[in-house]
Amino acid sequence: MLAVQLCPNDHPPFLDVCMGHARALALCGYRVRTIFFASTGRAASTGRAASTGRADSQSLDTRESGESTEVVAAENVADVLAERPDLLVTHRYRAYRAGIRLARRLGIVEHVAVAHEFGFFARARRRWRRRLLGDGGCRFAGVSDAVAEDLARCRVAAPLVLPNPLAADRLRGNLRSRTGARAELGLSANDFVIGVVGRLHPKKDPGRALRAFGRFRQAHPRARLVFVGDGELRPDLERAAGAGVTFAGFRADGRELLTAFDVLLACATEREAFGLALLEALAADVPVICADRPGPRFVLGDCATYFDGDDELLRALQSAAEGRLDGDRLARPARIERLFSVEALADRYRSALATPVGVHGLC
Environment class of 152 (CB within 10 Å of its CB; exposed 0-12, middle 13-18, buried 19+) = middle
- pLDDT given at position 186: 96
| Nearest C-alpha neighbor of 257 from the set 201, 196, 318 | 196
Distance between CA atoms of 102 and 84, rounded to whole angstroms?
10
Distance CA 159, CA 217 (A): 45
Predicted local confidence at residue 117, as pLDDT: 96
- Asked if 299 and 324 count as a contact pair (C-beta separation under 8 A), the reply is no
Which stretches of the chain drop beneath a pLDDT of 50?
40-65, 358-363
Report yes or no on whether pTM surpasses 0.75. Answer: yes
Q: For position 40, what pLDDT does the model report?
A: 45
Query: What's the rounded Cα separation, in Å, for the pair 146 and 241?
Result: 33
Per-residue confidence (pLDDT) for residue 107, from 0 to 100: 94
Amino acid occupying residue 202:
P
Coil, strand or helix: which one is 197?
strand
pLDDT of the residue at 135? 86
Q: Find, among 165, 121, 112, 144, the residue nearest to 5 by Cα.
A: 112
Q: Phi, psi (5° rounding) for residue 41?
A: 90, -10
